[in-house]
Amino acid sequence: MLAALLENATMLDGIRALLAPRPWWINAIWLFCLYMTFAYLPFDLFWKPIERDDEVWFGFAVHGVWAKATEPIHWLIYGLGAYGFWKMRAWLWPWAAVYVAQIAIGMLVWSVRSPLAGGAWIGVALFVAFTALAVALWRAKPQFG
């Protein structure tokens, strides 16, 4: 039992050491990038049927073949994000903020264009939330490399 507790303590210390270089909110973005890179996007690209596939760029959805064709771009973006946040690379600093700002604009455009998105109020709320995240990333320059 003591050995198991010590092993768990060592594992927790390892997790703490892995997360220590970044603030909690950047760790959350890093973990999201890891999920997208290693779980969601491989599923989306290799297992989701082409007729059910959708990708959204700047608030505009593409479907089917065009969605499959653009998925590797999303995969590359999230893969670079996962690596860049893991190592807190200097090159990620401006681009993470710019990408999240693009998502903010895309959320607003998507909500105005799509009645299924919940309407403009949800789009405005998402725009504000993602804009705040983009500003936080922009201000986090000292954290990167």
Q: Is residue 18 part of a domain?
A: no
Q: Are 108 and 124 contacting, i.e. CB atoms less than 8 angstroms apart?
A: yes
Q: Is residue 52 part of a domain?
A: yes
Q: Write out the residue range of the structural domain in which residue 124 sits.
A: 23-143
Total number of domains constituting the chain: 1
Q: Is residue 8 part of a domain?
A: no
pLDDT tens by residue, 71-114? 999 999 999 999 999 999 999 999 999 999 999 999 888 888 87
**Tokens 């986090």 sit at which residue?**
140
| Core vs surface per residue 54-73: b (16+ CB within 10 A) or e | ebbeebeebeeeebbeebee
How many alpha carbons fall within 13 Å on the CB side of residue 145? 10
Say what the pLDDT of residue 13 is.
Answer: 87
Q: Is residue 6 part of a domain?
A: no
pTM recorded for the entire structure: 0.86
Going by C-alpha positions, the residue among 144, 102, 91 that lies closest to residue 127 is 102
**Tokens 């998502």 sit at which residue?**
103
Q: Is residue 13 part of a domain?
A: no
